């Protein structure tokens, strides 16, 4: 599946940038091959436009924010969050700005400290709801924001694959003497998936401190949720009641590149475990996954007959089937819409 080739993938929300990165200037981001400029309006709300001035096509992300608008770096035309040109410095102020002076605007919102964008006016799903983010006393720790050279589908199925721990994560939490994966309860949703499992894990010394569990071995109660197409939460609860919930998105930049956006939510405090130490351990785990995922084909097939499977691959198979059905439904829909035109010709 080449993500830029399927218009239906434009109908989902994706986290694209930490909102704090917009504090001083507009920033570029490429979502599904679409170049965007992102900035904060005077109300502090994020805005997203196509990163191309309608005058001479300069990149608006190279400009500045002025009066809540993004100002083009070339001749200084300014655009508001709707994409309308609000100021042309070369025109007298009493001259009306033509309505055709505009660029495309996209749905844009802030959630969990990140700016989210949907490239369609008609999203198929709302932004993921994470109730644990709203619980007073829980803390949210931003973890990783970086491009990986692999497909979002590979990242998602890896997140639900409990058969790779003893191999890929042998140096971090994998139980090398037990390669057989733990049993899971799998609950497919209309669009999405939930998996419940009890997973034995190794606790290296740094993690024993992070978790306040002074044992080499422990178990994780896991509740994983897949949000179509490329986001997930992994809610881990340890025997001492500690919750470590990880949100990961593999935001599709292009066919080959996914922007990894990861934060975690915990019900402990900085005095219990420092954010730095938590990030250090999760960095090790994530780097182990990255190394192997970047070696996989980025044109990841949704046709399950194209690769071989084992019983523990069931979540990835469900993902592929749901995505295949989604693509088929929307491609069929487009063909049906095109038919009357073909008949007329």
Q: Rule CB under 6 A: which residues touch ligand FES?
A: 53, 55-56, 58, 72, 74-77
Name the minimum Å distance from CB 73 to Fe ion. Answer: 42
216 binds, among Fe ion, ligand FES, none (CB under 5 to 8 A by kind): none
* Per rule CB under 5 A, count of chain residues that contact Fe ion: 1
How many other CB atoms are there within 10 angstroms of residue 190's CB atom?
7
- Residue written as token pair 């044992």: 215
Q: Which does 56 bind (CB under 5 to 8 A by kind): Fe ion, ligand FES, none?
A: ligand FES
Residue 74 interaction partner, one of Fe ion, ligand FES, none, beta carbon < 5-8 Å per kind: ligand FES
CB 164 within 8 A of CB 178: no
Give min distance, CB of 60 to ligand FES, in A: 7
Q: Which does 58 bind (CB under 5 to 8 A by kind): Fe ion, ligand FES, none?
A: ligand FES
Closest distance to ligand FES from the beta carbon of 68 (Å): 18
**Least distance between ligand FES and beta carbon 107 (Å):** 24
CA dihedral for 165, 211, 278, 139, sign (positive or negative): positive
Neighbouring CB atoms inside 10 A of 337's CB total 9
Q: Which does 289 bind (CB under 5 to 8 A by kind): Fe ion, ligand FES, none?
A: Fe ion
- CA angle, corner 286, sides to 28 and 12, nearest 5? 45
- Residues 264-293, mask of contacts with Fe ion (x by CB under 5 A): -------------------------x----
Q: Which is nearer to Fe ion, 165 or 298 (CB)?
A: 165
Cβ nearer to Fe ion, comparing 51 with 289: 289
Q: What are phi and psi of 68, to 5 degrees?
A: 80, 0
H helix or E strand, kind and range, residue 64:
strand 64-66
- For 279, the token pair is 């990030």
CB 58 within 8 A of CB 33: no
Q: How far is the CB of 292 from Fe ion (least distance, A)?
A: 8
Find the shortest distance in angstroms from Cβ 139 to Fe ion. Answer: 24
Q: Are 221 and 234 contacting, i.e. CB atoms less than 8 angstroms apart?
A: no
Rg (CA), the chain: 23
97 touches, from ligand FES, Fe ion, none (C-beta below 5 to 8 Å by class): none
CB of 53 to ligand FES, least distance (A): 3
Nearer to ligand FES, 75 or 180 (CB): 75
- The region that residue 83 occupies, defined by phi over 0 for left and psi between -120 and 50 for alpha, beta otherwise, is left
* Chosen from ligand FES, Fe ion, none, partner binding at 72 (C-beta under 5 to 8 Å by type): ligand FES
E-assigned strands of 177-257? 184-189, 192-202, 217-227, 231-237, 243-252
Grouping H, G, I as helix, E, B as strand and the rest as coil, residue 288 is: helix
Residue 77 interacts with, from Fe ion, ligand FES, none (CB under 5-8 Å by kind): ligand FES
Q: Rule CB under 5 A: which of 83-142 touch Fe ion?
A: none
Residue 51 is a binding residue for Fe ion (CB under 5 A): no
Cα–Cα dist 247/233, whole Å = 4
What distances in angstroms separate CA 25 from CA 16, 131, 217, 286, one per listed residue? 16, 31, 47, 30
In the list ligand FES, Fe ion, none, the entry touching 53 (Cβ below 5 to 8 angstroms by class) is ligand FES
Provide the minimum distance between the beta carbon of 168 and Fe ion in the complex, in angstroms, as a whole number.
Answer: 5
Contacts of 9 (CB under 8 A, 6+ apart): 3, 32, 229, 252
Among all residues, whose Cβ is closest to Fe ion? Answer: 289
Which one, 98 or 214, has the nearer CB to ligand FES?
A: 98
Q: What is the nearest approach in angstroms of Fe ion to the Cβ of residue 285?
A: 6
DSSP letter at 317 equals: H
Give residues in contact with Fe ion (CB under 5 A).
289
């Amino acid at each position: 599946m080449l993500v830029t080739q399927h218009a239906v993938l434009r109908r989902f929300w994706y986290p694209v940038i930490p909102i704090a990165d917009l504090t001083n200037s507009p920033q570029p981001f490429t979502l599904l091959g679409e170049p965007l400029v992102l900035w904060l309006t005077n109300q502090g709300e994020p805005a997203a436009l196509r990163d191309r001035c309608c005058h001479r096509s300069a990149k608006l992300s190279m400009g500045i924010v002025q009066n809540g608008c993004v100002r083009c770096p070339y001749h200084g035309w300014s655009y508001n969050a709707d994409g309308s040109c609000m100021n042309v410095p070369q025109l007298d102020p009493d001259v009306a700005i033509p309505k055709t002076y505009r660029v495309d605007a996209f749905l844009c919102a802030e959630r969990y400290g990140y700016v989210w964008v949907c490239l369609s006016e008609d999203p198929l799903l709302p932004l993921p709801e994470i109730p644990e983010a709203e619980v007073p006393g829980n803390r949210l720790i931003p973890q990783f924001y970086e491009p990986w050279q692999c497909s979002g589908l590979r990242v998602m199925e890896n997140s639900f694959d409990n058969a790779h721990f003893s191999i890929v994560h042998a140096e971090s939490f994998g139980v090398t003497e037990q390669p057989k994966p733990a049993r899971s309860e799998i609950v497919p949703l209309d669009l999405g998936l939930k998996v419940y499992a009890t997973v034995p894990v190794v606790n290296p010394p740094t993690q024993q401190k992070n978790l306040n569990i002074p044992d080499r071995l422990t178990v994780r109660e896991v509740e994983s949720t897949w949000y179509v197409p490329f986001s997930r939460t992994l809610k881990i609860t340890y025997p001492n009641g500690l919750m470590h919930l990880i949100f990961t998105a593999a935001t599709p930049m292009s066919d080959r590149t996914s922007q990894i956006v990861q934060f975690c939510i915990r019900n402990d405090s900085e005095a219990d475990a420092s954010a730095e130490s938590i990030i250090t351990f999760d960095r090790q785990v994530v780097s182990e996954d990255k190394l192997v995922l970047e070696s996989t084909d980025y044109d990841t097939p949704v046709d399950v007959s194209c690769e071989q499977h084992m019983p523990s691959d069931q979540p990835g198979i469900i993902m592929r089937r749901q995505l295949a059905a989604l693509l088929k439904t929307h491609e069929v829909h487009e063909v049906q819409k095109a038919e009357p035109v073909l008949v007329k010709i």
